[in-house]
């Protein structure tokens, strides 16, 4: 047993720890460390970001719609039934009688597809894209589905072109 002040005997495995080649610290690229409160909070804010911000050409309600879609909180019959059962008495789709959660509303309902094939990977690519066209497509798709299901969602004018 070792106590403070007594010599330490090293085993054969410790030889490789002591006699290893030195690390060249000048070859390592160090990023400047944030020092102020603002820099620290900005660093942690950007490190936690999972989705790109809405495009600057989106209106405020369109940006809100995109953010709700990105986090999965966009109004849908199943969610509204849990929150306000007196307003949304059922969680089923009025077009196909299936449970109308967000996935069903956006790409699984055959009555809401309108001939367009939407896959979960295509949808994920649209809401994680930073391009204006993809973000507008996702926002318009959600808005059209909500209108067909008679849901109360943020209002905005549909742009004439991208």
**Is pTM beyond 0.85 here?**
no
pLDDT for 53: 92
Give tens-digit pLDDT for 61-85.
Answer: 899 999 999 999 999 999 999 999 9
Task: Give 57's pLDDT tier (boundaries 50, 70, 90).
Answer: very high
Residue 1 pLDDT greater than 70, yes or no: no
3-state secondary structure the chain: CCCCCCCCCCCCCHHHHHCCCCCCHHHCCCCCCCCCHHHHHHHHHHHHCCCCCCCCCCCHHHHHHHHHHHHCCCCCHHHHHHHCCCCCCCCECCCCCCECCHHHHHHHCCCCCCCCCCCHHHHHHHHCCCCHHHHHHHHHHHHHHHHHCCCCCCCCCCCCCC
Q: Average pLDDT of 35-50?
A: 85
Domain chopping of the chain, boundaries: 60-148
Tokens of 72: 């999965």
């Amino acid at each position: 047993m070792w106590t403070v002040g007594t010599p330490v005997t090293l085993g054969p495995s410790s030889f490789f720890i002591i006699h290893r080649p030195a690390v060249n610290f000048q070859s390592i690229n160090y990023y400047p460390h944030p020092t102020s409160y603002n820099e620290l909070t900005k660093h942690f804010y950007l490190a936690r970001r999972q989705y790109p911000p809405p495009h600057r050409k989106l209106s405020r309600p369109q940006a809100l719609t995109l953010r709700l879609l990105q986090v999965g909180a966009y109004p849908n019959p199943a969610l509204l039934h849990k929150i306000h059962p007196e307003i949304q008495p059922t969680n089923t789709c009025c077009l196909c009688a299936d449970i109308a959660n967000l996935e069903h509303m956006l790409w699984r309902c055959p009555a809401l597809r309108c001939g367009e094939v939407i896959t979960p990977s295509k949808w994920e690519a649209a809401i994680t894209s930073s391009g204006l066209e993809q973000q507008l497509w996702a926002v318009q798709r959600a808005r059209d589905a909500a209108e067909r299901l008679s849901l109360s969602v943020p209002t905005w004018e549909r742009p004439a072109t991208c």
